[in-house]
């Protein structure tokens, strides 16, 4: 819950044209700078209601995933 009492939901807000949806996309995009793997509802149905943030190394070539 935000300070003004409103709520943002990945499941309910991700596919809308709203400030909440823009906020969620910004969270996903900026998380890509911090985590090795970031998966969002755009990745697959298993992530429709949450983000996956992961710091695991993905091989010697430094592979990173942001979807």
Q: Write the pLDDT tens digit of every residue in 1-58.
A: 889 999 999 999 999 999 999 999 999 999 999 998 999 999 999 999 999 999 877 6
Q: Which residue(s) pair with 66 in the sheet?
A: 38
Tokens of 35: 């985590």
**What's the whole-model pTM score?**
0.84
Say if residue 2 is exposed, middle or buried (CB neighbours under 10 Å; 0-12, 13-18, 19+): exposed
Q: Is pLDDT at 65 greater than 90 in this prediction?
A: no
């Amino acid at each position: 819950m935000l300070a003004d009492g409103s709520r943002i939901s990945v499941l309910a807000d991700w596919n809308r044209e709203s400030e909440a949806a823009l906020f969620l996309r910004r969270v996903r995009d900026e998380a890509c700078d911090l985590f090795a793997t970031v998966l969002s509802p755009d990745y697959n149905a298993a992530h429709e209601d949450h983000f996956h943030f992961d710091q695991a190394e993905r091989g010697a070539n430094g592979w990173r995933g942001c979807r």
